[in-house]
């Protein structure tokens, strides 16, 4: 991913937060002579990763359906790319000051590369599924108790392949109108919050930038 200095995240904490909040990532694997494989997978960070901890060296976990042939390529081609991102928000020139201008897109994205390794055994796969549920339920004000569904999970696990990815590199782009004046940034923010095409996730990141610069 090509990045621009003016659109770098403020801190490692921004990167970690985006990966946690936008955990449904695109997992890209190369295939010689064929298009890359790129399914969408839920990715979870270890719970002990702190807000400012570097992701390089961290082992992420994910899973996919056993019917998906992608996982069969992992042993031969373990290098993969994870793409995490917000929605892509169209920015209309109507939010800009008068004069020649052009529309653009605001968004935030994180690319992580690493080596993938299969997680063997139904017990370890079941542990991953339960950890995935806990990671997402933990964001809710009240959590669903999976205790009554463990027998179902035990059956589901046979159709699931679990794997882990040890992160080797990270790149990030947080393009959120930082290059514009404060009045323009606020007009962009208001249009994305209340206009005809709303992007609350991008608005949330714009608000965080405004709070940090206040």
3-state secondary structure of 87: coil
pLDDT tens digits, residue range 81-113?
Answer: 999 999 999 999 999 999 999 999 999 999 999
What is the helix (H) or strand (E) element at residue 187, kind and residue range? helix 182-194
Q: Under 8 Å CB-to-CB from 61, ≥6 apart: which residues?
A: 43, 44, 46, 119, 128, 131, 132, 162, 163, 164, 165
Identify the band that residue 35 occupies on the pLDDT scale cut at 50, 70 and 90: very high
Dmax (CA) of the chain: 64
SS3 84: strand
Return the pLDDT at 125: 96
Predicted confidence band at 214 (pLDDT cuts at 50, 70, 90)? low
Q: What is the model's pLDDT at position 32?
A: 87
Q: What is the pLDDT of residue 44?
A: 96
User: How does pLDDT run across 189-201, given as a tens digit for each residue?
Assistant: 999 999 999 999 9
Calpha distance 191→76 (Å, rounded): 47
Tell me, what's the pLDDT at 212?
75
Average pLDDT over residues 64-82: 95
- The SS3 call for residue 149 is helix
Contacts of 50 (CB under 8 A, 6+ apart): 16
Predicted pLDDT at 158:
94
Give the pLDDT of residue 45.
96
Per-residue exposure over 80-116, b if at least 16 CB sit within 10 Å of its own CB, e if not:
bbbbbbbbebebbeebbeeeeeeebebbbbbbbbbeb
With 90 as the cut, is the pLDDT of residue 10 above it?
yes
Q: How far apart are CA 136 and CA 105, in angstroms?
A: 28
Domain assignments of the chain as residue spans, ordered by start: 5-208
Mean pLDDT of 49-54: 96
CATH topology (fold) of 5-208: Pnp Oxidase; Chain A (2.30.110)
pLDDT of residue 167: 98
- CB-based burial of residue 185 (10 Å sphere; 0-12 exposed, 13-18 middle, 19+ buried)? buried
pTM value is 0.94
């Amino acid at each position: 991913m090509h990045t621009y200095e003016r659109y770098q995240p403020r801190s490692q904490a921004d990167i970690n937060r985006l990966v946690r909040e936008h955990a449904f990532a695109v997992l890209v694997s190369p295939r010689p002579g064929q298009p890359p494989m790129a399914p969408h997978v839920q990715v979870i960070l270890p719970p002990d990763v702190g807000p400012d901890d570097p992701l390089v060296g961290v082992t992420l976990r994910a899973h996919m359906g056993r019917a998906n042939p992608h996982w069969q390529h992992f042993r031969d081609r373990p290098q993969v790319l994870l793409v995490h991102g917000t929605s892509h928000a169209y920015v209309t020139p109507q939010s800009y000051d008068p004069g020649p201008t052009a529309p653009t897109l605001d968004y935030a994205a994180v690319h992580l590369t690493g080596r993938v390794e299969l997680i063997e055994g139904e017990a370890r796969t079941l542990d991953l599924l339960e950890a995935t549920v806990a990671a997402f339920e933990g964001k809710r004000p009240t959590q669903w108790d999976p205790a009554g569904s463990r027998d179902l999970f035990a059956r589901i696990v046979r159709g699931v392949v679990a794997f882990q990815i040890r992160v080797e590199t990270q790149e990030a782009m947080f393009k959120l109108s930082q290059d514009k004046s404060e009045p323009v940034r606020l007009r962009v923010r208001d249009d994305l919050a209340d206009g005809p095409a709303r992007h609350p996730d991008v608005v949330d990141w714009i608000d965080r930038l405004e709070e940090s610069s206040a």
